[in-house]
Amino acid sequence: MHLLLARRLPAALFVVLALSTVVPAQTKVTAPKNKFPVSEDVKLGKDAAAEVRKTMPLLAEPAVSSYLSGLGARLVAAVPPEFRIPDFTYTFEVVNQQDINAFALPGGAMFVNRGMIEKVASEGGVAGVMAHELSHVLLRHGTAQVTKAQRFQIGAIAGQVIGAVVGGTTGGLIAQGSQFGLGTYFLKFSREYEKQADLLGAQVMARAGWDPREMAEVFKAIEKDAGAAGPQWMSSHPNPGNRYEYILQEGKALKVSGGGSTAEFQAVRAKLAALPPGYTAAQVAQMQKAGTSPNAAPAPAPRTVPVALPAAQTRTVTVEGVRLSLPANWSQQAQLSSPTFAPQGAVSTSGSGAAFTHGVQFGWAKASSGVLDRETAGFIKGLSAGNPQVRWSGRSSPTTLSGASALSSTLSNVSEVTGGAETLTVVTTLTGDGRLFFLIGVCPDVEAASYAAPIDRVRQSLQLPR
């Protein structure tokens, strides 16, 4: 419309019009000096990505993964030609962690916490953070940082680059693993690089069809919430100063067409909300230290423990004043300190004590508040502390136990005996003497169909001492 109109106008008038609508030019970003060949980025990134995949919990949820990869592919396709590096391979993986954070490795492997999708308000915000990370890769900031650091007479580079790029806890650990005592200076990007990544990120996301203002808003929100949601992000991507303002300013120079998909973004969030919650930063750090990440080693094929199915006949026992009916082929297992009833072969003793794979256990815990849901949450937290693989949605459903109101909570766990997935059904009720009584049923997920009903019949039969 405007062009057609302009052509019909006298030339002099056209010039005046053009001047009055002058658009600010986008900032020219230039990659910093780098003495390393591109192949070094590729190699370092490949090694670091292997380390990340071994030490951090990744989320294997196809709908979420393909959505994130889709956002990534759209950004990569929008990279201006002068920044394209044909040797790089871009991958986008979801880390099963609650906090807002993302990082990218030299050569193109990017890891985005699921918390980013859960806590950032819009698709454009997520794309903005990814565009920022992608820009660090395109500008080869990891190896450029080391180029700069050579002034400090530091020798080999692998630990530094990985530390510099990964940042935060992971970077620290990887750097330690490669025998480098690095100052924090090398574990985060400089403010100059941050600004470059912001500006190029804004340009890339605008070309891909998202409004750079959404990136500015996300950074503002992360910063405001730095104590709770984004401490890792803030430590590896420091605000160069006026971040919000200069991204908005850059956005004015950029043309955005297209936009984010609200429906798809919401569908992926709903998918995540239905899963057990992601790990906290503290849990991930603990896993990295202990080498117990779910993907730490090729998981040994789950061993099945051959035990007889629950007998249809029941027998009634009274132990510690508690009366309950059990499948007739379950007997009390003396190796466990709380009363435990299981079929033969279901108890395994190792260095860390005895564990059972099938059956029920009961006992009492201290309860101070007299509020059932609070005490239940505290009890489950205690269980999880001893076993970091225990996961709980935080929700319980009402039921009854021994004629009193009770809560039933379903937990997932990885059996320390078999390495396979198991389900824990925890039923809790408050007793007259102010304690929390618990009944825990355990069975491997693959045998859930045979155990759900017998375990529930134990609950129905159970009578607490009066």
The answer to whether residue 116 forms part of the interface with Zn ion (CB under 5 A) is no
284 DSSP assignment? H
Q: Answer positive or negative: Cα dihedral of 138, 141, 165, 280.
A: negative
Decide whether 99 or 194 has the Cβ nearer to Zn ion.
194
Q: How many whole angstroms separate alpha carbon 343 and alpha carbon 309?
A: 8
In DSSP notation, 287-334 reads: HHHHT--TTSS-PPPPPPP--PPPPSSEEEEEETTEEEEEETT-EE-T
Decide whether 123 or 133 has the Cβ nearer to Zn ion.
133
Q: CB pairs under 8 A, 24+ apart, for 300-304?
A: 300/419, 301/419, 302/415, 302/418, 302/419, 302/420, 302/421, 302/444, 303/417, 303/418, 303/419, 303/420, 304/418, 304/420, 304/444, 304/446
Nearest to 166 by CA among 215, 106, 119: 106
Decide whether 201 or 420 has the Cβ nearer to Zn ion.
201
Q: What are phi and psi of 365, to 5 degrees?
A: -130, 160
**Which of the ranges 87-95, 191-199, 261-269, 390-398 carries the binding residues for Zn ion, by CB under 5 A?**
191-199
Minimum CB separation of residue 309 from Zn ion in Å reads 56
The answer to whether residue 197 forms part of the interface with Zn ion (CB under 5 A) is yes
Q: Is residue 353 helix, strand or coil?
A: strand
**Which of the ranges 197-205, 372-380, 406-414, 443-451 carries the binding residues for Zn ion, by CB under 5 A?**
197-205
Minimum CB separation of residue 130 from Zn ion in Å reads 11
Give me Rg for the CA atoms of the chain.
Answer: 28
Decide whether 197 or 426 has the Cβ nearer to Zn ion.
197
Minimum CB separation of residue 115 from Zn ion in Å reads 17
Size of the site for Zn ion (CB under 5 A): 4
Minimum CB separation of residue 395 from Zn ion in Å reads 36
The answer to whether residue 237 forms part of the interface with Zn ion (CB under 5 A) is yes
| 418-447 positions binding Zn ion, by CB under 5 A | none
The answer to whether residue 141 forms part of the interface with Zn ion (CB under 5 A) is no
Decide whether 36 or 189 has the Cβ nearer to Zn ion.
189
How do the residues of the chain divide into helix, strand and coil, expressed in percent and rounded to 5?
A: 45, 20, 35
Minimum CB separation of residue 332 from Zn ion in Å reads 58
Minimum CB separation of residue 221 from Zn ion in Å reads 16
Decide whether 128 or 278 has the Cβ nearer to Zn ion.
128
Decide whether 41 or 194 has the Cβ nearer to Zn ion.
194
| Contact residues for Zn ion, defined by CB under 5 A | 189, 194, 197, 237
